[in-house]
Amino acid sequence: MLSCLVVNKTGYFKNSDDFLRWMLEELNLSWQGYRKVRGQVHKRIRRRMEELSIVSFDRYRQYLEKHTDEWEMADRMARITISRFYRDSAAWDSLKEIYLPAFAETSLNAGRSLRCWSAGCASGEEPYSLAILWKQLIMPRFPQAKLEIVATDADDHMLGRAEKACYSRGPLRDLPVELTGKAFEKEGISYCLKEEYKEMVKFLSQDIRKEMPEGKFDLVFCKNLVSMYFRKSLAVSVFSKISKKMRKGSLLILGNHEEFPLDEIDEIKVLDKGRNMYIRK
């Protein structure tokens, strides 16, 4: 059992939150974003300390300072992997009814494929939601239009789950029933995505802080990642690089409770504040 009051070089870690605040600051991550999901990270930290037979937060801090490669483990422990299909449904409805048909027509007129990027894709719920919408609702109207979906994440374990594409009922609860029935097959207690949808998505192991996929994109999802979990200076740097990956007139979608640093990056402007959609000028 970890001590509730632990001495370190600068004073006291009064509790596990104090230690997590310190760790996140060292990783250039934002405590504010982690407040509601910090329990997941606390469990990982405690499990790791038990693996190392470390009995206090102070000792673990000392271990991190002595073994610099342990920071890679700390960074992995700080990753939040909560996701679901059709999350923030109002934005998906707008894509379905307005923007995807418009993009399909534009790409056909330009004689090229429509390119979409899902950043921080976790176990694939977001890019597969796009694949399902496209195949079931857009392709019948624009059969000649081509869609390329690139999905990136820094967590190889989550990417392995994404490529397998079998889910419990929970992550599917927001996806309209008529779309679910056509896209999934029931296998025991799991819902497994049909191969025709899986093959539409290309998954890449990338840390958005260090690497981004090649080429320009018409649609970028960056939901509940950069603005939520990165400290502002890092978020501005990453968003600036994302904006350079976007074609003129392309769309960026953030999570409902996130904000884009419009005062720092003037290439991007608000398209639909209620749905947290932005457009590249």
Residue among 269, 234, 267 nearest 78 (CA): 234
pLDDT for res 217: 98
Tell me the pLDDT tens digit for each residue of 50-108. 999 999 999 999 999 999 999 999 999 999 988 999 999 999 999 999 999 999 999 99
Q: How far is CA 281 from CA 72, 183, 245, 246, 247, in A?
A: 37, 35, 13, 10, 9
Residue 183 in tokens: 């896209």
Same domain? 189 vs 249: yes
Residue among 96, 89, 87, 99 nearest 271 (CA): 99
In a domain, 173, yes or no: yes
Instruction: Tell me the whole-structure pTM to 2 decimals.
Output: 0.92
Residue 189 pLDDT exceeds 80: yes
Q: Exposed, middle or buried, 53 (CB in 10 Å: 0-12/13-18/19+)?
A: exposed
The percent helix, strand, coil of the chain (3-state, each to 5) is: 45, 20, 35
Residue 8 pLDDT exceeds 60: no
pLDDT for res 13: 80
Rounded average pLDDT over 168-187: 96
- Asked if residues 261 and 236 have their Cβ atoms less than 8 Å apart, the reply is yes
Strands 114-119 and 147-153: parallel
Same domain? 69 vs 110: no
Q: How far apart are CA 136 and CA 132, in angstroms?
A: 6
What's the angle, vertex CA 28, arms to CA 27 and CA 33, rounded to 5?
A: 105
Q: What is the CATH number of the domain that holds 152?
A: 3.40.50.150
In a domain, 189, yes or no: yes
Q: Which residue has the higher pLDDT, 15 or 121?
A: 121
pLDDT for res 129: 98
- Asked if residues 253 and 276 have their Cβ atoms less than 8 Å apart, the reply is yes
Same domain? 204 vs 172: yes
In a domain, 257, yes or no: yes
Q: How far apart are CA 267 and CA 199, in angstroms?
A: 33
Domain boundary among 77, 107, 124: 77
Rounded average pLDDT over 217-240: 97
Domain boundary among 56, 77, 98: 77
In a domain, 263, yes or no: yes
Residue among 138, 121, 119, 41 nearest 85 (CA): 121
Tell me the pLDDT tens digit for each residue of 104-163. 999 999 999 999 999 999 999 999 999 999 999 999 999 999 999 999 999 999 999 999
Same domain? 220 vs 269: yes
Its domain, for residue 255, covers 89-280
Q: How far apart are CA 196 and CA 100, in angstroms?
A: 19
Q: How many domains does the chain have?
A: 2
